Structure 1
Amino acid sequence: MLMKKSIIALAVAGALTAPIAAQADATLYGSLRLNLSNYDSTGLDFTDNASRIGIKGSTELFSGAKAIFQWEQFVSTETGALGYQKTQGNGGRLASIGITGDFGTVNAGRQWSPFAIWTVFPTDILVNSDNSGNTGYQPGLHRLSNTVAYISPAMNGLQVAAVLIANNNDKAATSSAAIATQADVDAGNAATVGQVFNKTTTASDDSEDLDAYNLAVKYSVDGLTLAASTIGLEPSGQSVNSVAASYTTGGLYVAARYQDDETAGAGNEDSYELAAKYTMDKTTVAANFIDNDNVADDAYSLEVSQKLGKAATAFVGYYDKGADDSLAVGYRVDF
């Protein structure tokens, strides 16, 4: 199966870059996801649930290190076209190239931020991406464009990461809709580090060489993981700071995160999240709780998912966001 996917990926990439792709280990991957949701506010809705498709791989360098690459797009199961239906055709997720070796990983382009991987994903545990509710996505800093990122190798459980963003354009911009979960990371569907953003509404200042940065640190030992991240935005001087902790023992996983977001408008927006899941054979029960300063009501979710095969999952869940709640069932197939 892996050989078949590699051949397909090479055929797709070969249309434009045959000489290069023919020498690279490329894999076609993706995830098709459908939801049937019943919302209090809108009623029954049969929608795409953040499906995506991509190509990723590596090729050996003469030095012994590896060149790496990844391209990933939303794909709509509602239209059959590239682009995420709920963001009006916004299809871009990842597009990066880099080098990895004993020294760590250097990656450039549009990629996941260390902020997301280390301090957002730990509490983003629900299969239903449409109702994840994770406040880490609200600043729009989960995937970043125009970046150069470095992530160190693990040194006795300690890793550090740094991302620099420079796009010669200080205008406000929009963030793409989130939607990667811890399951994506566990399955290897996410990039090693980060993707780009422009979130603040600030006056243009072309004198700034650096538009933003993300510094992060993570420490893991005996099932416990602690992480912290800070993002600085220029020229506004605004920042988004976050910390996360998670612990795994047997089939139990628990996590918590805190975020201080200065980009949310007047004053700082503080948010707290708790998440837990328990896996018994092929069945997982997951729940989360969110307290967000910017939202009048707290939010919580309860979800049960069932593995139907190595790459197929069905779920049912209840999601309460105060003013609106929903019941959803869904089906997901990864490849």
Structure 2
Amino acid sequence: MKFISKLSLSLLAISVSAASFADPITVYGKANISAQAADEGAGSFTEIKSNASRFGVKGDLKLDNDMEVLYTFEWQVDLADESGSDNIKARNQYVGLKGSFGTVLLGRNDTVLKQSQGKIDQFSDYEADIKGLWKGENRMGDSVTYISPTANGFSLGLTYVAEDDVAGDDSQSISLTYGDKALKKDKWFASVAADFDMKGYDSQRFSVQGKFDQLTLGAILHRQESVETGSSKNGVMMSAAYTIGKLVLKGQYQTLEDDNSATIGADYKLGKSTKAFIWYTDRGLDKSEDKSWLALGLEHKF
């Protein structure tokens, strides 16, 4: 595995060097690491944890007929991993075309249902990430993603996942979004989305988020059903963030039937691309022991 990691890094370096002579590329990433005190039912312990730290390259190039080719190659890096173990794994990696017809991407990508949450999850990549309770947070290979042009603020998204197996079944994801996920161009963002037989589940979501001066509020209604058993569960998530200068106070509450997760936290901006953060998550589970985490950490983006 060490050899594969070194080979991946070597290929990346060669690709970056070659591409730099052909078309503009962007190298980007973030390092997010925290010191955590955890109680996961079986006992308490402390750890240093890398929270989906990543690096990648992306770019686009103008083609004929007013089209663009675009690509992204992204990897996750575990900054707290033990020396000698494989600490690199693939994230979104795709190539596609963009034009008046919209955008088509082929490769490994988040489904449009996963993307439909926008920035509502205030604790994404931490223990309180909504994937801790809900199905539907899928990144799929063998996939084709289509994003339509925006019309009156609305955009349609489709994900098709090929079966890649004689005994497998194709999967689909669909979304309709309105507004700007980052809440920079619009003060509102909303979406409806559904998965069909995605990793054994059908899922539906309705999401909405609004910005009111320093206050940002968001909510998601969620339903998931096992394709095999037909059993279904419902959940809701509410989030809030309030900005005071360089400080952002955050809170979030999520349910799935009798399971729930409550989180409070704060980010403090140390610079344009760097922040310190603290958060506490308490998760109450109906059929297993409750869990809790307290974290203090640092994030730097580049």
**Could you report, residue by residue, the CA deviation over 1:49-69 in whole angstroms, capped at 9, with x for unpaired residues?**
211111111111122221000
Query: In the alignment, is residue 269 of structure 1 matched against residue 233 of structure 2?
Result: yes
1:326–1:20 Cα change, 3 Å: closer
Match of 1:332 among 275, 289, 299: 299
TM-score, normalised to structure 2, is 0.83
* Structure 1 unmatched ranges of 5 or more: 1-10, 171-203
Q: Give the equivalent residue in structure 1 for 2:176.
A: 217
Match of 1:145 among 122, 141, 147: 141
1:115 partner SS: helix
**Could you report, residue by residue, the CA deviation over 1:16-46 in whole angstroms, capped at 9, with x for unpaired residues?**
5865552121111111111111113332211
Q: Would you say the 8 A contact 2:261–2:282 is kept in 1? A: yes
Separation (CA, whole Å) in 1 of partners of 2:216 and 2:129: 19
Q: Give the equivalent residue in structure 2 for 1:37.
A: 36
**Could you report, residue by residue, the CA deviation over 1:58-102 in whole angstroms, capped at 9, with x for unpaired residues?**
1111222210000111111124889xx8xx757111110011133
Alpha-carbon shift at residue 150 of structure 1 (Å): 0.9
Separation (CA, whole Å) in 2 of partners of 1:169 and 1:225: 37
Query: In percent, how many aligned pairs have the same letter?
Result: 21
Query: In the alignment, is residue 107 of structure 1 matched against residue 66 of structure 2?
Result: no
Q: Would you say the 8 A contact 1:54–1:72 is kept in 2? A: yes
Match of 2:193 among 206, 229, 239: 229
* Structure 2 unmatched ranges of 5 or more: 1-9, 181-185, 285-289
Alpha-carbon shift at residue 219 of structure 1 (Å): 1.8
2:113 partner SS: helix
Q: Would you say the 8 A contact 1:13–1:21 is kept in 2? A: no
Match of 1:94 among 92, 95, 106: 92
**Aligned partner letter, 2:32:** R
Separation (CA, whole Å) in 2 of partners of 1:44 and 1:280: 31
Separation (CA, whole Å) in 1 of partners of 2:245 and 2:199: 51
**Aligned partner letter, 2:128:** S
Alpha-carbon shift at residue 136 of structure 1 (Å): 7.8
Separation (CA, whole Å) in 1 of partners of 2:219 and 2:112: 17
Q: Give the equivalent residue in structure 1 for 2:217.
A: 254
Match runs of 1:1-335 below 5 Å: 13=12, 15-16=14-15, 22-40=21-39, 41-79=43-81, 89=87, 91-119=89-117, 121-126=118-123, 129-135=125-131, 138-139=134-135, 141-169=137-165, 204-205=167-168, 211-220=170-179, 223-233=187-197, 238-263=201-226, 267-293=231-257, 296-322=258-284, 323-335=290-302
Range with bigger deviation, 158-167 or 305-314: 158-167
Separation (CA, whole Å) in 2 of partners of 1:52 and 1:19: 22
Separation (CA, whole Å) in 2 of partners of 1:52 and 1:95: 13
Q: CA RMSD in A?
A: 2.8
Structure with the largest fraction of strand: 2
1:136–1:297 Cα change, 3 Å: closer
TM-score, normalised to structure 1, is 0.75
Separation (CA, whole Å) in 1 of partners of 2:76 and 2:198: 29
Separation (CA, whole Å) in 1 of partners of 2:16 and 2:271: 35
Alpha-carbon shift at residue 252 of structure 1 (Å): 1.1
**Could you report, residue by residue, the CA deviation over 1:287-333 in whole angstroms, capped at 9, with x for unpaired residues?**
0001112xx44211000110100110101111111312222100011
